[in-house]
Amino acid sequence: MSLLIKNINEIYTANSENQIIKNAYILIKNNKINEIGQMKQLENKNLKYSNIIDARDNIALPGFINTHTHAGMSLLRGYADDLPLKEWLENKIWPFEKGLSADDIYWGSLLSIMEMIKTGTTTFVDMYFQMDKVAEIVKKTGIRAVLTQGLIEEKDGLQGLEKAKDFSLKWNNKAQGRIKTMFAPHAPYTCSPEYLNKIKNIAIDNDSAINIHIAETKNEFEFINDKYDYTPVQLLDSIDFFDVPVLAAHCIYVNDDDINILKEKNVGIAYNPLSNMKLASGIAPINLMLKKGINIGFGTDGVGSNNNLDIIEEARVGSYLQKVKNLDPTVINKEDILKMLTIKGARAANLNNLGLIKNDMLADIILINIKDNTRYYPHHNNLSNLFYAGSGNDINTVIINGKIIYHNNELISIDSEKVYYEVEKRSKILAQ
């Protein structure tokens, strides 16, 4: 299997020099990038390839990484909005979720995966339940994912730990290596330090990383502070939780000491601006954390609190929100966005060989047509047009692990009509 992408208008490599290669080609062999060059060099080469894409009028970027989702929640899109958090959770979200069957989660996650592929996300980090079902779809659809079975102490207990271990043994590195697993205690306010410690030890034994929500709300911060006299980050640090690689979602209520801990322990952060805004959780001090060199990616969170999975919109709003919070328009510029969506997101999610257009990296690449769309005119700067004017809808081609998954508005491996039918039918019953 080899694929040549030729006539690329510009390649945005996402490397530390912000390198752009104009009028270029990419040769993919199996699941990796094999060669990158300029079109004028191509004539003198005798490249062999089994498939070809003419990317005239397209720019190429590394596929985007959505560092925090709950894919199964797409069945809740539009089910409850604009409510106080407690009422939203207790009267709407939790009762609805209680009714979710494994098959409901299968179809909901498939709808989310469709939306993510179409909008340029090639890797997503998911935390939910019935993750076996999600793993099956990831295998089938060709997307890349970090799958983490959520653990709430009261609900899942010790039995949950065994199930999570089994899930990890069954799925880690499967689907041609596209699936990675992590252990996922829900949060420090739903898991005791003892429970968290057990999970940490299981992660060490299984050479695994951990995915967790930290300091998402003021209530959580106050609850932990009252109970343990620690901030959530310090509580976790006190049990050496960060001795394993950790991807922490939100981190809104963190102080300077917390940020130092996160940096020192190389914790990755998932920044979920739209969810944090819509639920009125607060604004994370992302600017300070970025300046410290912490690896931060963007996350959409679940559709119930977003309400879409468009990671470009997430990035744009995430950048603008930090600009206005800090009253400084230079914060999170477009090159920062590119890295957070790709290489920094990959690092935050503990993924190697991913997030750059560079030889020997995994071949996750997206193409965007810059010709037939008002939002890309004029062409002063294509990256600015993509991140500050464009939308996930503008993605033309998605290649994951060397395979074409989406091209010219066509999803290769998914029957959209069937997904819409199942999602609609199941949501109606669940809402009753």
Contacts with its own copies, residue ranges (CB under 8 A): 74-79, 81-85, 88, 111, 114-115, 118, 218, 274, 276-283, 303, 306-308, 310, 313, 317, 320-321, 323-324, 326-331, 333-334, 371, 374-375, 377-382, 384-385, 388-391, 393, 416, 419-420, 423-424, 426-428, 431
Q: How far is the CB of 119 from its own copies (least distance, A)?
A: 9
Pick 56 or 379: Cβ nearer its own copies:
379
* Residue 359 vs residues 179, 365, 368, 420: alpha-carbon distances, Å: 22, 13, 21, 39
Q: How far is the CB of 157 from its own copies (least distance, A)?
A: 32
Q: How far is the CB of 387 from its own copies (least distance, A)?
A: 9
CA 87 to CA 326: how far, in whole Å? 31
Pick 98 or 428: Cβ nearer its own copies:
428
Q: How far is the CB of 41 from its own copies (least distance, A)?
A: 27
Pick 292 or 323: Cβ nearer its own copies:
323
Pick 316 or 344: Cβ nearer its own copies:
316
Pick 77 or 213: Cβ nearer its own copies:
77
DSSP letters of 38-95? EHHHHTT-----SEEEE-TTEEEEEPEEEEEE-GGGGGGTTTS-S--HHHIIIIIIHH
Pick 47 or 317: Cβ nearer its own copies:
317
Q: How far is the CB of 414 from its own copies (least distance, A)?
A: 10
Q: Which two tokens stand for residue 208?
A: 């695994």
Q: How far is the CB of 48 from its own copies (least distance, A)?
A: 37
Closest CA to 300 of 291, 292, 290, 309: 309
Pick 47 or 389: Cβ nearer its own copies:
389
Pick 263 or 323: Cβ nearer its own copies:
323
Q: Where are the alpha helices (DSSP H) in 149-304?
A: 153-171, 193-205, 218-228, 232-238, 256-264, 273-278, 286-291
C-alpha torsion 324→81→388→72, nearest 10: 120
Q: How far is the CB of 374 from its own copies (least distance, A)?
A: 4
Residue 383 CB partners (closer than 8 Å, separation 6+): 12, 334, 335, 338
Closest CA to 219 of 245, 243, 193, 187: 187
Peptide bond into 185 cis (omega under 30): no
CA 346 to CA 340: how far, in whole Å? 8
DSSP 331: S
Q: How far is the CB of 326 from its own copies (least distance, A)?
A: 7
Query: CA triplet 26, 352, 21: central angle to 5 degrees?
Result: 25
CA 315 to CA 92: how far, in whole Å? 28
Q: How far is the CB of 122 from its own copies (least distance, A)?
A: 17
Distance of alpha carbon 120 from its chain centroid, rounded? 11
Pick 1 or 431: Cβ nearer its own copies:
431
* Residue 205 vs residues 98, 169, 201: alpha-carbon distances, Å: 32, 12, 6
Q: Which two tokens stand for residue 191?
A: 């898991």
